[in-house]
C-alpha cells in the first residue's frame, strides 16, 4: 500500500498526506545516511548520496511493483540478488 501511495503521489503531487511524506522522508534519510557513511569510509564511490538513495529506492519500488503485478518470472531472491549486484557494482569501490 505504501509503495502504491508513493506512486500515486508522484503522479499527482498536489496533495501529499503528512504521514506518507514522513514515512518516505524517514526511509530516504536512513538510506542516504548509510550511503554517506559508506562514502566517508571509502567503501562507496561518489558524492551524491541523495541521488543514489533515490535511485536505489526507485529500483526497489519497481521490483516490488513487478512482483505485485505478476510480471516477474524469476524467484524474488534471484531478482533481489541481481538488483543488489547491479547497484553495488555501479557504486562499489573497484
> Which pLDDT tens digit goes with each residue over 4-39?
555 655 566 667 778 888 888 999 999 999 999 999
Reported as a single tens digit per residue, the pLDDT across 47-75 is 899 999 999 888 888 888 888 888 878 88
Structural domain total, the chain: 1
C-alpha–C-alpha distance, residues 52 and 44, integer Å: 10
Question: Which structural domain range is residue 65 located in?
Answer: 2-91
> How far are the Cα atoms of 73, 82, 86, 90 from residue 77, in angstroms, in the given order?
12, 8, 14, 20
C-alpha–C-alpha distance, residues 25 and 8, integer Å: 16
Radius of gyration of the chain (CA): 15
Amino acid at each position: 500500500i505504501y509503495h502504491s501511495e508513493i506512486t500515486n503521489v508522484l503522479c499527482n503531487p498536489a496533495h501529499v498526506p503528512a504521514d506518507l511524506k514522513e514515512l518516505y522522508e524517514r526511509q530516504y534519510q536512513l538510506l542516504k545516511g548509510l550511503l554517506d557513511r559508506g562514502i566517508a569510509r571509502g567503501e562507496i564511490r561518489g558524492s551524491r548520496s541523495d541521488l543514489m538513495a533515490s535511485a536505489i529506492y526507485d529500483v526497489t519500488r519497481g521490483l516490488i511493483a513487478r512482483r505485485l503485478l505478476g510480471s516477474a518470472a524469476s524467484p524474488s531472491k534471484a531478482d533481489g540478488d541481481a538488483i543488489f549486484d547491479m547497484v553495488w557494482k555501479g557504486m562499489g569501490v573497484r
